[in-house]
Structure 1
Amino acid sequence: MRRDELPAPETGLLLTHFLTVADVARSRGFYTDVLGGEVVLEENPCIVRLANGWIIMNPGGGPTPDKPGVTLRPPTDPSTASSFLNLRVADIEECHRQWSARGAEFLTPPLDRRAELRCYLRDPDGYLIEVGQATGMVRGVFADPPAGTS
């Protein structure tokens, strides 16, 4: 492994996304075999390069000295999410076809939301992943404001 494969900037800031997973090998397989990522580090932590970012995965656990009082665990309720991974693609129909053929289970096919085409899937631990293609927004058509706002 080369240093430039790791999410370790020599200057400035680099964004990664950490997932607490129940089974590292299973999750690593999903992010590589289904979504097309590349393994940078197998375990401790598992690091997968996905497009121009990195997914870092480790099992859950109790508090550590640098995060006292915090326990990490995968999601337990698939009907509730407080955050999700947002992937932007150039061709959502092709992406939906490819990933479905590789075993991804989407909640719906891509839907036209005016500003974008969008659909969602879950990873093996139940993390929600949005897949979107900017369509209207590149022409100045944006999403409607959330219900209840002016």
Structure 2
Amino acid sequence: MSEHRPAIEVGDLPVPTDGILVTHFLTVRDVARSRAFYSEVLGGRVALGENPCIVKLSNSWLIMNPGGGPTADKPNISLVDHQPGPTVSSFLNLRVADIQACYERWSSRGATFLTPPIDRGSELRCYMQDPDGYLIEVGQSTGLLVGKLAAT
């Protein structure tokens, strides 16, 4: 039995016409929950619902799938679920034009921020986490635009 895949337009996929195009892959526990967060809360557009899930978020792309064992093209490498906790080794960084508007809109849609936006001198910045606990920085350049560096 063949797997049913939804019809999609080639133009909706992250396929470069020249050079490279950067996408970010997230190993997620529940594809539907993550798809809903990135599309309904953050306003991304779903290009492919599953296997893998592909969401266009502004001018970038997120690819999401559950973890799994080694494959022929990545022998001896397993994708494991993110373990939420007080330490991280990477995070998604979203730069926005109006952080207060994003903070209010995304909060009203269910995003939980660690703090409201804080003025760091060079930028306004706050953090939230997605349903799998991935850290997401949301920032708006302010002082940096006039040469002011972050407060220490």
Which deviates further from its counterpart, 122-131 or 66-75?
A: 66-75
Please list the CA deviations of residues 15-63 of structure 1 after superposition, one character each: whole Å capped at 9, or x if unmatched: 1100000000000000011000010001110000000011100000111
TM-score of the aligned structures, taking structure 2 as reference length: 0.92
Shift in Å, 1:3: 1.6
Aligned to 1:52: 59
Structure 1 unaligned regions, length at least 5 = 146-150
In structure 2, what is the Cα distance between the partners aligned to 1:144 and 1:12? 37
RMSD: 1.1
| Structure 2 SS opposite 1:33 | helix
Q: Does 1:125 align with 2:125?
A: no
Instruction: State, as a whole percentage, how many aligned pairs show the same letter.
Output: 63
Secondary structure of 2:90's partner?
A: coil
Give distance in 2, aligned partners of 1:144 and 1:114: 5
1:140 maps to 147
Q: Which residue pairs with 1:86 in the alignment?
A: 93
Post-superposition, which runs of at least 4 consecutive aligned residues in structure 1 deviate over 2 A? none
Structure 2 unaligned regions, length at least 5: 1-7
Number of matched pairs: 145
Q: SS state of the match for residue 69, structure 1?
A: coil
Which letter maps to 1:26?
R
2:3 aligns with: none
1:148 is matched with: none
